[in-house]
Amino acid sequence: MDSALAYWLRWPSIEVFLDTYSWAWPLCEVLHFAGLILLFGAVGTYDLRLLGFGKGIPLSLLKRALPWGVVGFALCAVTGFVFVGGIKSNVGVHPYTVLMTNPWLQLKLLFIALAGVNVLAFYATGMGRVVDALGPQDDVPPLGKVMGAASLTLWLGVIYFGRLIPWAL
Q: What is the pLDDT of residue 127?
A: 97
Q: What is the pLDDT of residue 51?
A: 96
Statement: residue 9 has pLDDT above 80? no
Number of domains in the chain: 1
Statement: residue 154 has pLDDT above 70? yes
Compute the average pLDDT of residues 100-115. 97
**93/100 Cα distance (integer angstroms):** 12
**15/129 Cα distance (integer angstroms):** 45
Is the model more confident about 169 or about 134? 134
- Domain extent, residue 53, equals 2-168
Where does residue 63 rank: exposed (0-12), middle (13-18), buried (19+ CB within 10 A)? middle
Q: Within its chain, how far is the Cα of 119 from the centroid? A: 12
Confidence class for position 1, pLDDT limits 50, 70, 90: low
Compute the average pLDDT of residues 150-163. 97
> Cβ contacts of residue 46 below 8 Å, gap of 6+?
59, 62, 63, 65, 66, 69, 148
Confidence class for position 90, pLDDT limits 50, 70, 90: confident
Tell me the average pLDDT of the chain. 92
